[in-house]
Amino acid sequence: LLEALLLLPLLLPPTVVGLALLVGLGPESPLGRAIEALTGARLVFSFAGILVASVLVNLPLAVQPAQRAFEAVGDDMRAAAASCGLSPLAAFRRVELPLAWPGLATGAVLAFAHTLGEFGVVLMVGGAIPGETATLSLAIYDRVQAFDMAGASRLAALLTLTSLLAISLLFLLGRGARRG
């Protein structure tokens, strides 16, 4: 059931998820009022709101590789750590995390690369407030709306290059880890 819930943001259209987050985190919702009471700030139409929404939407991309990485560690490694006198926390920190880090890194990079191009959720939760909630994907949209296809293409190339660099770095780190 938890896996199905984690996949839900990937299955729904981003604007639908954005609308749900806008309503759920908005100043009229109980959660939105609680956040504003605790922090003094609103999440909707803010950079913090974009971060929260992006994490929620892209969490499935990070969780699945991490889950698979921890499953690959296996119970025999946990048992070996326990037989060496390591507490469960120490075994997690000294054995499981080092073995699972490639999966954790993969999930983080996938979520980051996907977040860079996020549009629907960003627009719904953050709006398009210049200097406050503007993102590269919104800037591309604005360039297209202004019929500046050359500018939109340059920004799209920058976004693509950034994503490719992040994924290439992950590949290189993973290859180095397999050698070690």
- In sequence order, the 6+-apart residues with CB closer than 8 A to the CB of 111 are 55, 58, 59, 61, 62
* Contact predicate 9/90, CB 8 Å: no
The rounded distance, in Å, linking the Cα atoms of 42 and 25 is 8
Give me the domain span that covers residue 24: 2-63+101-175
List the CATH number of the domain containing 171: 1.10.3720.10
- State residue 120's pLDDT score: 83
Alpha-carbon separation of residue 124 from 1, 2, 49, 81, 140 (angstroms)? 27, 26, 10, 47, 16
Each residue's pLDDT tens digit, 169-178? 888 877 766 6
Comparing 142 with 60, the larger pLDDT belongs to 142
Residue 89 lies in a domain: no
Is 140 among the domain residues?
Answer: yes
For the entire predicted model, the pTM comes to 0.72
Residue 131 lies in a domain: yes
Q: Is residue 141 part of a domain?
A: yes
Domain membership flag for residue 79: no
How many domains are contained in the chain? 1
Query: pLDDT digit string (tens) for 106-154?
Result: 888 888 888 888 888 888 888 888 888 888 888 999 999 999 999 999 9
180 domain-assigned: no
Output DSSP code: residue 147: T
Q: What does the radius of gyration of the chain's CA atoms come to, in whole angstroms?
A: 20
Residue 88 lies in a domain: no
